[in-house]
Amino acid sequence: MPKIHELSENLTNQIAAGEVIERPASVVKELVENSLDAGATRIRVDFIDAGLKQIVVQDNGTGIARDQVDLAFTRHATSKINNEHDLFKVATLGFRGEALASISAVSHVEIITATEGAIGVRATFSGGNKKGQEDSAARQGTKITVKDLFFNTPARLKYLRSPRTETMKIVDIINRLSLGYPHVSFTLSNTGKVILRTTGNGNLKQTVANVYGRHIAEGMEEFQAKDSDFKINGLMSKPSLTRSTRNFISILLNGRYIKNFQLNTAIMDGYGSKLAARHYPIVVLAIHVDPLLVDVNVHPTKQEVRLSKEKELSRLITSAISNALVEKVEQTSAFSNLHNQRDTLVDQLEFNLNQDVVNTTRSKEPEVHEEESVFSAPKKDATEEKQTSSGYVNLNIPREDDKYIITKTWDKNVALQQTLTPFSSNQNNQEVISSGDETLANNLPRLAYIGQTDTYLISENNGDLFLVDQVAARRRLKFEQIFKMIAAKKIVQQGLLTPIVLEFGNLDFLQIKDRIEQIKTLGIHLEEFGQNSFIVRSYPTWIHNNIEESIRQILDSYLNLDKGKSNSLFKRVAALQAKREIKGKIKLSAAEGKQILLDLRKTTDPYHDADGRIVLIRMSQNELRKMFKRNE
């Protein structure tokens, strides 16, 4: 066994740094938390090259006394706890005394600090060792510069993500802290370009506007509740404003951003069925509780905490959000908004407009008594009498009724089905669809227009009655028109007399900027315009109503979609725009009604609109006879 020896101070510092400093965002978090604990009301963060080259954090807090600078960079040195009892009532963000020592162990650090009425001091550290100290002119507060992060531990660099991802991690940290401290003014800049600036006036909704953008802040509602142990308040988005991940849910416990699955679930439970599947709200939840009920000393980064009475807190959160939705937001259940999957040929058989191909209709079987059986129906010929007496039915013999699979039109319809080909000659330049969907489309007969009610077009074919929902039909036609234009990339632009300026939160701005070339394929050309803003000078002609709102909803679709699924996105955008343009029923002329019926036969799925809702229903002659009891 190798000889046991004590690790050097430098090595122990680097090991400790591995627990606390995982990436540049960890440095930013620790330094900003120290500034907040120092009572700062203005904090500025600047970084270069995703924080690897340089990070600067400056505040106007109480500062560090000149004789305590060395102690501040020593492990387990802190001014925030004095004995073991203080661990059970931690009221500050940092308390372990590891941040500055861990940061200086893996970088070059310069600190300039001054307390009230005292001469400032400047000190430098590198690789965990102090390099020098001198007097310096400085205002009250602290400015810490971190350069060349992980210069002496290059293995750490292999596990970092792309510069864009590391930048977004830093932005996310500052966003969360600014939401937890709306009374503190934060400024965040990347290579000199400001990407976040909050006012620090204590208005949470104003801070949300600075972080996520004015458009989102205007769509959020306040909520609050309290009991004997907890007091909660915050802002929640309406069910119509969602994102594809939980990353926009911020839980702040006494100002500390935490991750807690059970509390996240409580928030989702508060929305109930008002959210569509895999959609998550934008929520800022501030929880105020006695520090005695919280243990924050369970993880080095302090993002995971242990809570007493967590179930009671979860119930309070759920009820607060649920009550706010009832009082302030009108929204139908998401069960009516679920997108139905497009039926395949097998699933569609019961709805197949040419039902005689395979008729699955079954009449209700009569009750069987001791003196009679199912097969005691009136005899029609000798063949059927033989079938009945033997206790079985020959399914190869057609019958007049609709009780069994084979009908008199079987042979004719089988021959018709066999003429359908997976790829007809006139579809060479069109979207390839499955053989099942093609069969459904080709099975739609030519409908003869009869008239219309307030909502439905009435038509018939071969004695069968068809009711067509005019709104769903028009949406299907509009969807097909827009989708074909986008897929073919033949989009005509219309110039704007007054350009539109779109403001976003910093994270949304970075994501849209990363996909700006993909967005151009829709005919939407965005130009950067100031802080977290884009300007639009023209728009695609397939957008007709409320240009700004339509473009915002399209960009929201990009924020809610996995990168690379452009074809799925095109369909979502086309469906969204079709729904926006076709909002309700209108009075149609007979010519317009006939044209809708003709155009419907040319669509890839004439039975559903783009959201999966049924376009038409068929009532056969047999069903009509039953309704009027003509079979009795």
- Determine the number of helices (DSSP H) and then strands (DSSP E) in the chain: 19, 24
* Contact residues for 488 (Cβ-Cβ < 8 A; gap 6+): none
pLDDT confidence tier of residue 89, bands split at 50, 70 and 90: low
pLDDT given at position 42? 96
pLDDT confidence tier of residue 362, bands split at 50, 70 and 90: very low
The per-residue pLDDT for range 205-250, each reduced to its tens digit, is 999 999 998 888 988 999 999 998 999 999 999 988 888 788 899 9
Provide DSSP, 319-359: HHHHHHHHHH-----GGGG--PPPP-TTTTGGG-SSTTSS-
Q: Terminus-to-terminus CA distance in the chain, angstroms?
A: 97
Q: Average of pLDDT values for 336-357?
A: 42
- pLDDT of 462 higher than 50: yes
**Burial of 631: CB neighbours in 10 Å, binned 0-12, 13-18, 19+:** exposed
The structure tokens 């967005």 sit at: 519
* Contact residues for 73 (Cβ-Cβ < 8 A; gap 6+): 100, 101, 104, 109, 125, 130
Which segment of 8-12, 62-66, 168-172, 510-514 scores lowest on mean pLDDT? 8-12
pLDDT confidence tier of residue 416, bands split at 50, 70 and 90: low
Higher-scoring residue by pLDDT: 20, 227: 227
3-state secondary structure (DSSP) of residue 257? strand
pLDDT given at position 336? 46
Q: Average of pLDDT values for 532-536?
A: 90
Q: Average of pLDDT values for 98-110?
A: 90
Alpha helices (H) along 84-162? 99-105
Instruction: Return the top range by mean pLDDT from 119-123, 154-158, 387-391, 433-437.
Output: 119-123
* Contact residues for 183 (Cβ-Cβ < 8 A; gap 6+): 41, 200, 201, 202
CA distance 435 to 424: 11
3-state secondary structure (DSSP) of residue 180? helix
pLDDT confidence tier of residue 117, bands split at 50, 70 and 90: confident
CA distance 283 to 96: 30
E-strand spans in 102-229?
108-114, 120-126, 129-136, 141-147, 185-190, 193-197, 220-226
**Is residue 511 within 8 Å of residue 598, measured between CB atoms?**
no
pLDDT given at position 24? 94
- pLDDT of 631 higher than 50: yes
CA distance 335 to 595: 33
- pLDDT of 185 higher than 90: yes
Q: Average of pLDDT values for 513-533?
A: 86
Mean pLDDT score across all residues of the chain: 79
Long-range contact set of residues 458-462: C-beta below 8 Å, sequence gap at least 24: 459/597
Higher-scoring residue by pLDDT: 399, 439: 399
pLDDT given at position 204? 93
Provide DSSP, 567-585: HHHHHHHHHHHHHHH--S-
pLDDT confidence tier of residue 354, bands split at 50, 70 and 90: very low
CA distance 190 to 361: 67
Higher-scoring residue by pLDDT: 312, 373: 312
pLDDT confidence tier of residue 158, bands split at 50, 70 and 90: confident
Evaluate if pTM is beyond 0.85.
no
pLDDT given at position 209? 93
Q: Average of pLDDT values for 375-385?
A: 46
- pLDDT of 94 higher than 60: yes
Classify 612 in phi/psi space as left (phi over 0), alpha (psi -120 to 50) or beta.
left
Q: Average of pLDDT values for 163-191?
A: 94
**Is residue 574 within 8 Å of residue 315, measured between CB atoms?**
no
- pLDDT of 46 higher than 60: yes
Q: b/e map of 296-308 (b: 16 or more CB within 10 Å)? A: beeebebeebebe
CA distance 481 to 383: 55
CA distance 612 to 36: 51
